[in-house]
Structure 1
Amino acid sequence: MALVGLVGLAASGCTSIRETRGYIVDNVLVSSVQPGIDNKQSVEGMLGRPTFTSQFGEPTWYYVSSVTGRKPFVRPRIENHSVLAVQFDAAGNVASAERTGIDQVVYLSPDGDETPTLGRERSFFEDLFGNIGQVGAPGAAGAAGPGGP
């Protein structure tokens, strides 16, 4: 009997873990957003506050939802991803409401452990001792010291 319990406990450790992140999509509410009829107040009343809003261009509210699944000790995999973009006109009325899915997700691969920068590479000692003699040198900013001449 103990063996059956041990096998059951071991098998439960291998089940998939599902996590929902962001906006929880309610298809009935999302489909009820009507261009030309709704405005910012009615959209906020139906869907709640957006995940984020646009900073430039036409005012747009984004509702982002993602469902991931993973096995223990394995990197999470996106199972479902959706974005609802509600665009408003200058008067605050809904101009359009578009839904996109995982087909619009871009996967980025970082290039190693360092961020590439412009300029020349400096060694540790150049960084450490590079400013010796530069502080207070003639023509350098702040050469007169505190208080000025």
Structure 2
Amino acid sequence: MKIFIPILTLISMLLFTSSCQTLDVRGQYVDDSTVNKLENKNLTKAGVEELIGTPTIIPDYTPDTWYYVHRFMGKRAWFQPKTIEQRIVKIKFTKDDIIEEVVVLNDNHTEDIEVVSEYTKAYGTEQNGIQTFIKNIGRFNKTTDGKKKRSKK
């Protein structure tokens, strides 16, 4: 009975600590009052950088569109982190670098993309057993001194 109580205490502590959730905030949060300022004022790119900061993403294909991404992530014990809440502010500029459009995208239902570690097979490179055997002749018994023939002592 003396050994049962410490083991039970240890197991219960492990169960309690494994159910704890770690919260992590990533990115730049742009609140609603700042979005209203952006919509009401004709700011340039430099003015937006002074007000909010540098954008999270500037796509190469549309450099006149800036994205500010904010993610609220949660992680339990040994599992992968999941996005609890995501807010994206899209700011589109005109050719004169003045704000044209401000859009707030709230994305609470994000999907986790599963990464598959397989590779794409390149057809036409298959080898049969004879080709593999001929290719491997001499491959595993290379000389030790770098010469083509082994030296006998």
TM interval, shorter chain, is 0.5 to 0.7
Structure 1, unaligned runs of 5 or more: 130-149
Number of positions where the alignment pairs a residue of Structure 1 with one of Structure 2: 125
AA aligned to 1:113 is S
SS at match of 1:31: helix
AA aligned to 2:118 is E
Structure 1-normalised TM-score?
0.65
Compared with structure 1, are the counterparts of its residues 16 and 25 closer, same or farther at alpha carbon in structure 2 (3 Å cutoff)? farther
RMSD: 3.4
- What residue is the counterpart of 2:117 in the other structure? 113
Compared with structure 1, are the counterparts of its residues 88 and 32 closer, same or farther at alpha carbon in structure 2 (3 Å cutoff)? same
Compared with structure 1, are the counterparts of its residues 93 and 118 closer, same or farther at alpha carbon in structure 2 (3 Å cutoff)? farther
AA aligned to 1:69 is G
SS at match of 2:73: strand
- What residue is the counterpart of 1:81 in the other structure? 86
Compared with structure 1, are the counterparts of its residues 62 and 8 closer, same or farther at alpha carbon in structure 2 (3 Å cutoff)? same
**CA contact under 8 A between 2:85 and 2:108: conserved in structure 1?**
no
**CA contact under 8 A between 1:58 and 1:87: conserved in structure 2?**
no
1:62 equivalent to 2:79? Answer no
Question: Distance in 2 between the 1:64 and 1:91 partners?
Answer: 24
AA aligned to 1:68 is M
**CA contact under 8 A between 1:50 and 1:62: conserved in structure 2?**
yes
Structure 2-normalised TM-score?
0.64
Compared with structure 1, are the counterparts of its residues 87 and 117 closer, same or farther at alpha carbon in structure 2 (3 Å cutoff)? farther
**CA contact under 8 A between 2:92 and 2:100: conserved in structure 1?**
yes
Between the aligned residues of both structures, percent identity stands at 17
- What residue is the counterpart of 1:99 in the other structure? 104
**CA contact under 8 A between 1:88 and 1:95: conserved in structure 2?**
yes
